[in-house]
Amino acid sequence: MIRLQKYMALCGVSSRRAAEKMIAEGRVSVNGDVVTEMGTKVDEYADEVRVDGEVITPEAEKHYLAYNKPVGEVTTVSDPEGRATVMDRFEGYPVRLFPVGRLDYDSDGLLLLTNDGELMNRLLHPSREIDKAYLAKVSNNLTEEDLVRLARGVIVNGKMTSPAKVRLIRRDTFSTTILVTIHEGRNRQVRKMVEAVGHQVVSLRRVGFGPILLGDLPSGCWRRLTDEEVRKLKAL
């Protein structure tokens, strides 16, 4: 017997956290009875579980992809405003995929997608403190003091950010390019950190998620992760 939300994750429906929301909304039934309690357990071999009326079963084959998200795509399965989503790129893919976390509409770069809900849940849990690396082009010239402040932590929405790794990449006449590595997942965090030291992010690209690097993957294209990359993700 396993918890219902874990079973849903194994079926590739969603992460466990998102599964809990579906259960609370009354969208899940077990053997014909709607379930809304989080402690419910199911027999994965005997019970029939439905989400929105459709039977779900564990997916035997797991898929792990790296995608270079362009600016102008929303990192959601659907968008009420009718904007393009990352899932539009995978309409013909043989299994249902889910993005691992989010990447801002006006940011580009590395986004992982998978149907392995259990791994997705672990990767997104705050206790894992998984590094995400961003290449940020910032308005005007950042001083050494600005770089130190970003690394030590700044106040964002009334709360101090955790220490970050900040490396100067290039200084131009009217901009500075830095590599910022953080493990927190606050909304638009890098942009707000830069604003806290008096500058604006001109462009932001995620170039790393844990051991996975964006590399030279073209914008709008995706690739399957290697077996070694998947092993590294699972070992985090």
Assess whether 75 and 92 both reside in one domain: yes
Assess whether 228 and 122 both reside in one domain: yes
Assess whether 146 and 90 both reside in one domain: no
Q: Which domain, by its residues, includes 115?
A: 64-126+224-235
Assess whether 122 and 135 both reside in one domain: no
The CATH number covering residue 15 comes to: 3.10.290.10
Residue 219 lies in a domain: no
Q: HEC string of the chain?
A: CEEHHHHHHHCCCCCHHHHHHHHHCCCEEECCEECCCCCCEECCCCCCEEECCEECCCCCCCCEEEEEECCCCECCCCCCCCCCEHHHHHCCCCCCCEECCCCCCCCEEEEEEECCHHHHHHHHCHHHCCCEEEEEEEECCCCHHHHHHHHHCCEECCEECCCCEEEEEEECCCEEEEEEEECCCCCCHHHHHHHHCCCCEEEEEEEEECCEECCCCCCCCEEECCHHHHHHHHHC
158: left (phi over 0), alpha (psi -120 to 50) or beta: left
Q: Is the CA virtual torsion 140, 136, 153, 188 positive or negative?
A: positive
Assess whether 50 and 76 both reside in one domain: no
Residue 216 lies in a domain: no
The CATH number covering residue 143 comes to: 3.30.70.1560
Among 47, 79, 88, 104, the one annotated catalytic: 104
Higher pLDDT, 41 or 185: 41
pLDDT in tens, 185-199: 889 999 999 999 999
Whole-number average pLDDT of the chain: 93
Residue 24 lies in a domain: yes
* Chosen domain end from 55, 80, 97: 55
pLDDT in tens, 199-221: 999 999 999 999 999 999 999 99
Residue 200 lies in a domain: yes
Residue 109 lies in a domain: yes
Assess whether 142 and 169 both reside in one domain: yes
Residue 214 lies in a domain: no
Assess whether 76 and 183 both reside in one domain: no
Whole-number percent of the chain with pLDDT over 90: 72
Number of domains comprising the chain: 3
Assess whether 103 and 137 both reside in one domain: no
Assess whether 87 and 196 both reside in one domain: no
Assess whether 136 and 174 both reside in one domain: yes
The CATH number covering residue 83 comes to: 3.30.70.580
Judged against a pLDDT cut of 80, whether residue 60 lies above it is answered with no
Told to judge if 104 belongs to the known catalytic residues of this protein, a careful annotator would answer: yes
Least confident span in 100-104, 111-115, 120-124: 120-124
Residue 218 lies in a domain: no
Judged against a pLDDT cut of 90, whether residue 225 lies above it is answered with yes
Assess whether 119 and 135 both reside in one domain: no
Which pair of tokens denotes residue 175? Answer: 């901009």
Region 156-184: mean pLDDT is 96
Rounded CA-CA distance 68/53 in Å is 34
Residue 68 lies in a domain: yes
Assess whether 49 and 96 both reside in one domain: no
State if pTM tops 0.95.
no
Residue 151 has what pLDDT? 97
Judged against a pLDDT cut of 90, whether residue 136 lies above it is answered with yes
